[in-house]
Amino acid sequence: MPHFLANSHRVQGAISAVAAAQHGLIGTSQLHRCGLGSSGVRDWARAGRLHRVHRGVYAVGHPGLGIEGRWMAAVLALGEGAVLSHASAAMLWSMLEPRPGIVHVTVPGLGGRARRHGLQIHRSTTLRPHHVSRRGAIPATGPARTLADLRRGAPGPYRRALRQAEYLGLLTGDPPEADGTRSGLESRFLALCRRHHLPIPEVNVRLGPFTVDFLWRAERVIVETDSFRTHGGALAFEEDRRRDLWLKTRGYEVVRVTDQALTADPVGTARALRAIIRAARKA
């Protein structure tokens, strides 16, 4: 067999294998890794072997896509780290009845394009690896995170999805808050950041052996939210100091914000935090 034909067969076989694992879809970068260059992509598209679904995403062989194909195409279109979410993830998990329409995708971080035709893009600083799973090869928020997202923005679908999730046995505990917080005090602190236009920190971040409540990573500033009920004992006192020492020796500024500070002086608390963050940026 001529060398160019052998290469062509290898490229075609590689593309077919990738598409078969992705509901008949493939991204431009994947096509390149399979050995098809930019001119080859154009030639295949003109010949009807590739059909554009989104910018940088193609259906291989034919343009027809089922709903799972549309979900996979949406995730591929938003790139690495993107996951199916909200009502679309609830449909994937059989918590809501599948139906055509806008596909919801969550992307980590805050920057980037806000809109794409047919897609609702959600940007999140609280999406963590343990919030993400796969079903039918499609990356998606897991059942608990999916319900938390629905609870925040779609109360009606949330109630229907919750009942079905309980029936299907998809939950092992209460859904987390959509913002990643684990307590009312943490939720109040995050609300203070938004209300006073502070930079939004990462929430419940693992650093070495510890999980810190809030982290401004670039500035290396940490906030721990304390209440007497959870931090008032001798054991908690000692543990907090051990944590603070470990973090400070690694260059982190640790600030402790109490329940009382949030209640009695939210403006002063926000002003002090803004000054600390600014000073850390100048350091």
Question: Is 173 domain-assigned?
Answer: no
Q: What is the pTM of this model?
A: 0.61
DSSP state of 269: H
| Overall domain count for the chain | 3
* Residue-wise pLDDT tens digits, 64-76: 889 999 999 999 9
Range of the domain at 264: 184-282
Element (H, E) at 45: helix 38-46
Same domain, 72 and 141: yes
Indicate the residue among 17, 35, 60 that finishes a domain.
Answer: 60
Same domain, 229 and 271: yes
* Residue-wise pLDDT tens digits, 41-92: 999 999 999 999 999 999 998 888 899 999 999 999 998 899 999 999 999 9
Helices 143-153, 155-168: axis angle to 10 degrees equals 160
Q: Answer yes or no: is pLDDT of 4 > 60.
A: no
**The dihedral formed by the CA atoms of 46, 50, 53 and 55, expressed in degrees to the nearest 10:** -70
Q: Which of 155 and 32 is assigned the larger pLDDT? A: 32
Same domain, 202 and 248: yes
Same domain, 222 and 275: yes
Name 32's Cβ contacts closer than 8 Å, sequence gap at least 6.
Answer: 38
